[in-house]
Amino acid sequence: MRIRGRAVLVMVLAGLAAAALFQAAVDRTPAGTGGQRGNFPSAQNLVRFMGGVRQYLAYTFFIKTDKLYHLYGYTVELVPYFLAITYLDPHYVDAYHVVSDLVSSGGNREGAYAILERGLAANPASADLYFDLADLYLQEKRYREAKENLERALSLEPRLVSRFTILRGLEVANRRLGLEGETTRFVAEEMVSLRVRLYSADVEEVPTLVERITEYADYLLPEGR
């Protein structure tokens, strides 16, 4: 399985290289630049079409591989497949999100950092990837770096993680750094977020939400500190 996974990644990368060479041959522009030289609009349209094919393949590939991920959980054999998706479509944030978790769970933290940094280079406005990076820092007790990346995540719009999860991470980082004022601020924001969720929560979820809101309220009261 490991050899086959590597073979898939090699084949995908070879395909991407071939596509780049093809584009250079038909319109003499580097792949991805969006530039145009000469009078070959049909070739330009073909290249744009091939870019759409790559995105479609990445989407289809992710759906199938993600099903295996949820069926079997962590397995190192899935890593090359998710990596291939990030090369097919560098803007597929979900793939970076999953593969960085797989690599980190396998004990390769440096590899996970490298994947997320590549993801952020292609997707600098992704709150989810900043959160994933901060989560790695929290696991290593690097609270200053975690705080910086969580603040970036909070300034953007998350899609894969909730705003509450980001606030919770900021509370933890500031608490560990001994920043009581910042901790109190994020505890208050978390409590507001939970109260908003309470209005649309399922009946089964209400007791847990009420309990957590009470805990935050106790922390914010002087006698609860």
Q: Name the residue range of residue 153's domain.
A: 125-163
Task: Tell if the pTM clears 0.75, that is, is over it.
Answer: no
Residues 22 and 99 grouped into a single domain: yes
> Which residue type occupies 165?
T
Q: What confidence tier does 5 reach under pLDDT thresholds 50, 70, 90? A: low
Higher local confidence (pLDDT), 184 or 57: 184
Q: Are residues 53 and 111 in the same domain?
A: yes
Residues 108 and 130 in one domain: no
Task: Quote the distance between the C-alpha of residue 72 and its chain's center.
Answer: 21
Band of residue 190 on the pLDDT scale cut at 50, 70, 90: confident
Mean pLDDT to the nearest integer, 167-180:
92
Whether 208 has a pLDDT exceeding 80, the answer reads yes
E strand map for the chain: none
Confidence of residue 122 (pLDDT cuts 50, 70, 90): very high
How many residues in total does the chain contain?
Answer: 225
Residues 187 and 150 in one domain: no
